[in-house]
Amino acid sequence: MKRSELSEFAVEEEGFKLKIRRGGSGLPVVTQGVVVSNPPFAQLAEVAAPAQPAAAPAAAPSQVAAKEEEGVVYIKSPMVGTFYRAASPESKPFAEVGAKVVETTVVCIIEAMKIMNEIQAEAKGTVVEVLVENGQPVEYGQRLFKIKQG
């Protein structure tokens, strides 16, 4: 901040707010508006507890859903990119609903920075549901396929 002669820097995205301001001593003062469970951010800033009491009950339904879906796993995106079900528009999809897959079965391609990355199932079972449309952008950790183990 000293080299750039910045006195204040703020970033806000999807409920996350980070503000860095140079104090009178020339040292940065960091404030943050939401709880972040990511350790690198926790080391940079003091983490304030959210003032939303509704956040705690939201965890209960997801725990119930997890119990209801025993034997079901999700193939998640390992990167940000564009999801493709087939190698080309003319090719048949790698994995259809009802298809049997093993850990090494290629189920889709994610294009990231003009590189086509083959995504493997990493689970053994049957494809129950395809959760993403062909050509749709995906986020890191986003669920792509629902797999019934077995």
pTM listed for this prediction: 0.54
What would the CATH number be for the domain defined by 71-149?
Answer: 2.40.50.100
Q: How confident is the model at residue 82 (pLDDT cuts 50, 70, 90)?
A: very high
Which of the two residues, 65 and 4, has the higher pLDDT score? 4
Residue type, 127: V
Q: What proportions of the chain, in percent to the nearest 5, are helix, strand and coil?
A: 15, 40, 50
| Residue pLDDT, tens place only, 112-129 | 998 899 999 988 999 999
Query: What are the domain boundaries of the chain?
Result: 8-44, 71-149
